[in-house]
Every structure is written in structure tokens, then in C-alpha cells.
Amino acid sequence: MSSAAPPGPAPLVSILIPVYNREREIEETIRSALAQTVRDIEVVVVDNASTDGTWAICQRLAAEDGRLRLFRNDANIGPVNNWRRCVAEARAPVSKILFSDDRLEPAYLERTLPRLQGRVAFVFTPAKLVDEAGASHGVIHQYFVDTFPSDTFVFEYLSNFGGLPVSPCAALFRTADLRDGIVSDLGPGPGGSSAADFEAHGAGPDCLIYLIAASRYPYVAYVGEPLVTFRRGGITSDLVASGRFFTCYHHALMWFMKSPMAPPPARLAAAALWRQEVRNARRVIPYEDHLRAYGVEP
């Protein structure tokens, strides 16, 4: 089931909302997407065969705003395959995933879209963290400089996993990179984790979206304002409690490190040194100059 694409040129940005049984949260999420100060957007919602009132709410909202495009799977295809369906329906060259219990600040695209230029892989922001009742639990994903080498991002991800974004909702990507970055067939891993595990919950594929995009460009960009809100709980809490959460992420990170996409050890070492020098100097040191100083080709 789907809504036809409206006539005319493609929008600037596609905001992609995969949803399953979120009748309490989905209206707030969709309205936060439609409220962007950048108006030339589409909001693509793919309902994964919800059994509650989610679909009816989406239909009501689509009648109010023609930028909202609705699709519904005949059967539940799992969360990761539903991310893929969302990306397949995107018409814009730039996209972001917004999970169905999260929300955006109105200026999210206004602040991030201009930064997704040239040699920048993606733009990410900190996130406000709330619990299921809406109570604040602080801000996560805070970083130290607004544009920095992808090598440093990868180094930070591999060495300090908890300090960088996992949820793709924190970032704005080129649609092609988002499409190519949703990978779940990672082969056998520690603890017996498998493609079926990854497709069932997305823990692992979510971080690979970032790492695969970072491998394609020399820089990533950061806007230091918390312009997205994440809601804690649900499947992530269940995974953490079971111990599967860290097993699955370990598998994904090891898969990336063994792949041709990962920077070689000399680049990762230089990236770590660059990070430390920038922090000590309290100013940005050109990364290409830094690499040459350490005998690494830019």
C-alpha cells in the first residue's frame, strides 16, 4: 500500500520514518518533521504492518499536509528491512532517518543541510535524551570541533564506542550513502550473532551506516546544538539487559575493521594524534599538514 509521489521536482530532503505500533508517539514525531524551517522536504512514513492505531493517525496527518507520503507493508518485514524500504521510497538527494518515537527541533535541517557539502560524509548533532515519560536524561554525543577528519571519527568509534552517535537519527546523509550503508549480512560473529539478529533489532547495522559513509569522504561535520531528541527504552533496553547489545556491536565493529573500507593502522594512529594535538592547541590544525608531518599520505 502506498501513496503516489507528487508531481514536480524532487524535494531537497527526505525525512524517513519507519514505524511499527507507535500510536502514542507517531503524531509528535511526524509533526516535528513537518515543522522544519526548511520547507522543501518530503516526510516518508513506512508502516511495518502495525496492529494498533498508528496507520489511521498517519492517514489523518497526510490529509493535512501533502508533503507526507505514506507506505504500508503487507506484513512485518523487520526493522532493518523497513529502513531499506524507507530509503527506497526517498526522492531527495539528501535523507535522514527519524525513528518513530524520536523528534526533531524545527531548525534541524536549517543548521545541518548547509554543512553537507563537498568532501563531508555526513553532519551530526548531539541529542537530548528522555525516558518514556518524557523526563530529561541529559545530552549525548557532544564533541569538540565542528569539522574533523573521517579517520578521527572512525578512530573514536572503534576506541570509544559510547562517545559517538549510534542512532542514524542523529545525522543527515546523502541518500545514496544511506542506502549503501544499511548492511546486515556480516557473516558469523562472536556469541553466534547473525544476519537474522541484526535485521531483527538494528543493533550493529546502525553504527555501520556511519562507518561506511565515513570511509567514502575525508571529513565529517558536527553542529554542536542538540537538535534531535531520543527516547530511551523499548528494544534497546531489552537488548542491553540480555547482553546481546554489546555482542552485536562488537561483531559489527570487527566486521568493519576487517573490511577494505577501514583506514589502515597508520592513518588511525595519525588520526588519534591529530585529535590530541587539536585538544592541546585549542585550535584546528589542518589535517593534511598533520598527516604529512607524520609521514602519512593525505
Question: Per residue in 130-181, pLDDT tens?
Answer: 887 778 888 888 776 788 899 999 998 888 765 677 788 899 999 999 999 9
- Average pLDDT, rounded, for the chain: 88
For residues 193 and 246, give the distance between their C-alpha atoms in angstroms, rounded to a whole number.
11
Band of residue 94 on the pLDDT scale cut at 50, 70, 90: very high
Band of residue 245 on the pLDDT scale cut at 50, 70, 90: low
Report, in this order, helix, strand and coil percent for the chain, each rounded to 5.
45, 20, 40
The alpha-carbon radius of gyration of the chain (Å, integer) is 19
pLDDT above 60 (res 1): yes
Pick the most confident of 67-71, 134-138, 160-164, 232-236: 67-71
**Burial level of 147, CB count in 10 A (0-12/13-18/19+)?**
middle
Per-residue model confidence (pLDDT) at position 162: 56
Element (H, E) at 33: helix 26-34
pLDDT above 80 (res 239): no
Cell of 56: 489511521
Per-residue model confidence (pLDDT) at position 277: 87
N-term to C-term CA, the chain: 48
Element (H, E) at 96: strand 94-97
Per the model's pLDDT, the better-predicted residue between 250 and 196 turns out to be 250
Band of residue 199 on the pLDDT scale cut at 50, 70, 90: confident
Per-residue model confidence (pLDDT) at position 107: 98
SS3 for 68? strand
SS3 for 131? coil
The predicted model gives 277-289 an average pLDDT of: 84
Per-residue model confidence (pLDDT) at position 291: 86
pLDDT above 80 (res 197): no
For residues 108 and 97, give the distance between their C-alpha atoms in angstroms, rounded to a whole number.
13
pLDDT above 90 (res 238): no
pLDDT above 80 (res 201): no
The predicted model gives 21-48 an average pLDDT of: 97
Per-residue model confidence (pLDDT) at position 195: 67
For the question of whether the overall pTM of this predicted structure is more than 0.75, the answer is yes
For residues 290 and 29, give the distance between their C-alpha atoms in angstroms, rounded to a whole number.
43
The residue assigned the cell 554489546 is 246
Asked if 17 contacts 100 with a C-beta cutoff of 8 angstroms, the reply is yes
Asked if 43 contacts 68 with a C-beta cutoff of 8 angstroms, the reply is yes
Per-residue model confidence (pLDDT) at position 3: 62
Helices and strands (H and E) in the chain: how many:
12, 12
For residues 188 and 168, give the distance between their C-alpha atoms in angstroms, rounded to a whole number.
24
Per-residue model confidence (pLDDT) at position 292: 86
